[in-house]
Amino acid sequence: MVEDDQSTLSVEASADGNWLVYTSSTPATLIQLQMRAITGCLALAQLALFPDREREFDLRTRETQARVDSASPWLTVRGPMFCAPRPDALRVDSLLPHTELTVERFAKWIALNDKFDGLAWAVARRMRIPIQLQVQLLTSLVEGVHLRLTPPGEQTWFPDASKAALKRIREAAAEAAVDQAHREGLDPGIVGTRVWNALGHVGDKSYLERAEEVVAEVCAAVPEIGVSITRLAPHLRDSRITFAHQLRPEGALQDRYERWMVLSIITPRLLRARLLLEAGIEPHVVRENYLENETFTLHREQAEIRVKKLGWDKPPGPKSKSRTWTPSATAESPVPTPMALIRELMKSVCRR
């Protein structure tokens, strides 16, 4: 049973290869079925079986049939998305054993994959694009995966606060900025607008915090994915900001290339493991098969060489002391006396 809409997935045996049979709970168009059932199952199989992502070994649907209802005949569906010739050779260097791809796991994944808007394909089938674009895409996917896999209450620092409360805090901050801007001789209107806009996500977790959670979840299961990098999340954040905002990168071109190479090697493995864990693969199974995979071993060694050249394996330097914030007035403060109110009013008049 597919959890989100109670459609069903089953297997029918055939001498020429078993069929996965998807029965939609509601009427659907052919393109809807293709995006949900065919693409969803292919994405999970690609994630599980082909870690090297060589395009010639991408999985394809060999044959597709459809029917309107149980009383109608099966009709063959034509087109590149629905039928492909049998490959001359199959890739044998797969990541997980085929036995991990159970019908129940496919059914769970179909509902889960609907949340990704196709982003899982960017992990399963890496695009052949320049390395700079690879890093930009992959570092953005870290945030996208976290957003889609994390419950809303765990994506904010204030899960119990109402939207109205956060809006009042935002308004108070903007008003305080307006008052300070007036005292500093700056345009209060411009300052107020910019502070209001800047605090639009005041309660949300930052990219760095999201990346740290993804790294922690994956490396708890497969610590070797992070090689010897002491703090992977900040490097993901720095490259993401650089490419997303088209900033001029720091350092010599060779050093920048080394950074990009490390992230282009590690991040796909990081995201792949995160998705496989979410699909229900046991952590020890993911780790054992990562470590036994020759492609992963090779890429890990290539990344490790560059990590040591960059010094990313060294402990981070001492952090600057974080500023602490305390309210200037508390809810328990006594009600001011009339004389105190008069003094404050006179101060305000004098300032103006």
- Separation between Cα atoms, residue 278 and residue 281, nearest integer Å: 7
Query: Which regions in the chain score pLDDT beneath 70?
Result: 51-57, 87-92, 329-352
**Does 33 map to a domain?**
yes
Which domain-ending residue is among 93, 116, 139? 116
Res 44: pLDDT: 94
**Does 291 map to a domain?**
yes
Which domain-ending residue is among 116, 147, 175? 116
Q: Which of 289, 272, 295, 286 is nearest to 43 (CA)?
A: 272
C-beta of residue 4 within 8 angstroms of C-beta of residue 114: yes
C-beta of residue 217 within 8 angstroms of C-beta of residue 250: no
Res 40: pLDDT: 92
Number of domains in the chain: 2
CA 31 to chain centre: 26
For residue 29, what are the domain limits? 8-116
**Does 96 map to a domain?**
yes
65 bridge partner residues:
76
Res 164: pLDDT: 86
The model's pLDDT over 126-153, given as tens digits with 9 standing for 90+, comes to 778 899 999 999 999 999 999 999 998 8
Asked if residue 13 and residue 110 are part of one domain, the reply reads: yes
3-class DSSP state of 198 = helix
22 bridge partner residues:
9
**Does 153 map to a domain?**
no
Which domain-ending residue is among 76, 100, 116? 116
DSSP labels, 234-279: HHHHHHHHHHHTTPPPPS-HHHHHHHHHHHHHHHHHHHHHHHHHHT
Res 53: pLDDT: 54
**Does 180 map to a domain?**
no
**Does 261 map to a domain?**
yes
Alpha carbon dihedral 23, 28, 32, 33, in 10-degree steps, equals 20
**Does 352 map to a domain?**
no
**Does 148 map to a domain?**
no
